Amino acid sequence: MANLPDPTKSELVKTVLRGIKRAHGSRQEQAKPLTREMLEIICSSLGQGLHDVRDRALFLVGFASGMRRSELCSLQVEQVKLTGVGAELLLLRSKTDTDGKGRVIKLTRTGGSLCPVQALQDWLERGVLVSGPLFRPIDRWGRVLDRALSGEAVGKLLHLRLSAVGLNSNGFTGHSFRAGFVSAAVQQGEALWRVRHQTGHASDQSAYRYVRCALHPVNVL
């Protein structure tokens, strides 16, 4: 009996399960949106250590860009262009860009402690990054590694920083930055087509899936 093949691995069973999923749908866990207020609390707690500089850039760029977690993790230094007014992030491929045409996401210099462009510039300088993955792990000896952060790692970093400032981290993931951006933009009356231009959503319906409005209005960066 122990040598019998696992029936759940058969192609027939997999096909049937896919059909059931299409017919009835499946409930997707939605990440809680990170708000500007939460972001401000986190960033105010960060110092100038290497981990702090990286996390500040990761969180602010993740929120201000509205990118998918996978897009954020796949960014390369070569795809970042700093300008006088902000920064341009070139996405070579994304979930809805299967042809690989690419698109550019622009970030604006806002000034102040929540400026994503300044945070990005600080990380590039402190991490001495000239090529390769933009957001990377840092080992216990303070060395910036050559590989990219994983999507799971982004979520863990957010959990860690939320808990460190006394905020409940339950329900927050690496998608919370994107959900927070869309929710904040829609709440303050931004046209949905402009939101979609930033996030790369294929339709209004897919964009609205990310709108989880908070009880109080929030402002995007």
pLDDT tens, residue by residue, 128-179: 999 999 999 999 999 999 999 999 999 999 999 999 999 999 999 888 888 8
Residue holding tokens 């590694």?
A: 145
Instruction: Summarize pLDDT for 192-205 with one digit per residue, the tens.
Output: 545 555 665 555 55
List phi, psi (to 5°) of 183: -60, -45
Token pair for 67: 């990118």
Nearest CA among 154, 142, 164, 169 for reference residue 61: 154
Three-state secondary-structure class, residue 88: strand
pLDDT tens digits, residue range 58-113? 999 999 888 888 899 999 999 999 998 999 999 886 555 555 667 888 898 998 99
- Cα gap 1→80, rounded to integer Å: 57
104/102 Cα distance (integer angstroms): 7
- 3-class secondary-structure state, position 92: coil
Structural domains of the chain in order of their starting residue, each with its CATH number: 36-208 (1.10.443.10)
- Buried (b) or exposed (e) across 12-24, using 16+ Cβ within 10 A? eeeeeeeeeeeee
Instruction: Please report the pLDDT score of residue 23 as a whole number.
Output: 43
pTM of the shown model: 0.74
In the structure, what pLDDT confidence band is assigned to residue 5 with cuts at 50, 70 and 90?
low
CA distances from 178 to 14, 50, 71, 157, 207 (A): 31, 24, 11, 15, 10
